[in-house]
Structure 1
Amino acid sequence: MISPADLPETIPVFPLPGALLLPRARLPLHLFEPRYLAMMDDTLKTGHRMIGMVQPMETPGKTETRLHSIGCAGRVTQFSETEDGRYMITLAGISRYRVTREVSGFSPYLKADVSWAGFDDDLGGVEKDRTFDRPQFLTLLSRYFEALDLSTDWDSLKDAEDELLINSLSMLCPFDPEEKQALLEAPSLTTRRETLVTLIEFALRGGTGEDILQ
Structure 2
Amino acid sequence: MAQGYIRAADLPQVIPVFPLSGVLLLPRGQLPLNIFEPRYLNMVDDAMAGDRIIGMIQPFPGGSSLPGLLPVGCAGRITSFNETSDGRYLITLTGCARFRLSTELLVQTPYRQVRAAFEDFESDLTAPAAGEGALDREGLLEALKAYLETRGLDIDWETAETAPPEALVNSLAMALPFDPPEKQALLEAPRLDERAEVLTALMRIGAADGGEGEAQSMQ
Q: Same fold (TM over 0.5)?
A: yes
Aligned to 1:78: 80
What is the Cα-based RMSD across aligned positions, in Å? 1.6
Structure-1 separation of matches of 2:211 and 2:85: 43
Cα pair distance change 1:212/1:77, threshold 3 Å: closer
TM-score (norm 1): 0.92
Shift of 1:205: 2.3
Deviations, residues 1-28 of structure 1 (Å, cap 9, x unaligned): 2133321110000011111100111111
Distance in 2, Cα, partners of 1:148 & 1:201: 13
Deviates more, 1:126-135 or 1:62-71: 126-135
1:162 is matched with which residue? 165
CA distance in 2, matches of 1:14, 1:212: 30
Unaligned runs of 5+ in 1: none
Q: Deviations over 1:147-183 (max 9, x none)?
A: 1222211110010011110110000010011100000
- Residue type at the aligned position of 1:171: M
Looking at structure 2, the residues matched to 85 and 155 of structure 1 have their Cα atoms a distance apart, in angstroms, of 39
- 2:104 counterpart of 1:96: no
The corresponding residue for 2:20 is 16
**Which amino acid is 1:201 matched to?**
R
Stretches of structure 2 lacking an aligned partner (at least 5 in a row) = 214-219
* Counterparts of 1:100 and 1:132, CA distance in 2: 31
Q: 1:151 to 1:110 in 2, by over 3 A?
A: same
Residue in 2 that maps onto 1:28: 32
2:58 equivalent to 1:55: yes
Name which of 168, 180, 184 aligns with 1:181.
184
Give the percent of matched residue pairs that are identical in Structure 1 and Structure 2: 46
Matches within 5 A, 1:115-194: 115-127=117-129, 129-194=132-197
**Aligned counterparts, 1:191-206, within 5 A:** 191-206=194-209
Work out the CA distance in 1 between the residues paired with 2:43 and 2:57: 15
Tell me the amino acid that sits aligned with residue 73 of structure 1.
A
User: Which AA in structure 2 matches 1:160?
Assistant: A
Looking at structure 2, the residues matched to 112 and 64 of structure 1 have their Cα atoms a distance apart, in angstroms, of: 14
TM-score where L is the length of structure 2: 0.90
CA distance in 2, matches of 1:97, 1:133: 26
Q: Which amino acid aligns with 1:111?
A: Q
Contact 2:31 / 2:94 at 8 angstroms: preserved in 1?
Answer: yes
Amino acid at match of 2:85: E
**Equivalent position to 2:44, from 40, 43, 47:** 40
The separation in 1 between residues aligned to 2:136 and 2:125, in whole angstroms, is 26
